[in-house]
Amino acid sequence: MNKFVKINNQIKASELRVLDGEGKNLGVMPTSEALAKAKELNLDLIEISSTSKPPLARIMDYGKFQYDQKKRLNAARVKEVKTKTKVVQVKIGTGEHDLNLKAKRISEWLQEGNRIKLDLFLIGRTKYMDFNFLKERLERVLRLVSVEYKVADGPKKSPKGLTVILERKK
């Protein structure tokens, strides 16, 4: 919400394009005349756009204006898509049953629209194994995922081992 909205005597422009409460154009008029018209209606003169030539102002209740702004902001916030990144770790020796459970969980999370960070956790000597072998171990899990997905960030070495980031295919 714009915290620096100019109202009434704060408006310094000499001329304004004025709208009434319903949005009807009242035309371009001097600021003093627009202020007089607003006072006559027991309303406020609110500068909507200071960048246009001449600046745009509206005659309406300032409280109602603030309420509308808040409502518009909340509506925009509701429409935002929030994605979370879920992390799943597997090790080289993880058994088939555990891999099936993790793949099922990954499928559920992808279905919900979350991103998945799949880590092949490597300890000790396993960090220095052949990259293709490690990649094949990751693909073992990916083959079990039942939802269509795309690889957002391919298999890369990370501090924990090998990492793949998955997103749901649209």
What confidence tens digit (pLDDT) does each residue in 106-136 have?
999 988 888 999 998 888 888 888 888 888 8
DSSP assigned state of 84: -
Per-residue pLDDT, 103: 92
Would 1 be classed as within a structural domain?
A: no
Are 61 and 113 contained in the same domain? Answer: no
Per-residue pLDDT, 97: 93
- Residue where one domain finishes, among candidates 58, 79, 100: 79
Q: Mean pLDDT score of the chain, rounded to an integer?
A: 85
* Range of the structural domain that residue 129 is part of: 85-168
Contact 169, 149 (CB under 8 A): yes
- How does pLDDT run across 139-156, given as a tens digit for each residue? 888 888 888 888 888 888
Would 3 be classed as within a structural domain?
A: no
Mean predicted confidence (pLDDT) in 74-89: 83
Contact 57, 17 (CB under 8 A): yes
Per-residue pLDDT, 3: 65
pTM above 0.75, yes or no: no
Provide the number of structural domains found in the chain: 2
DSSP assigned state of 7: B
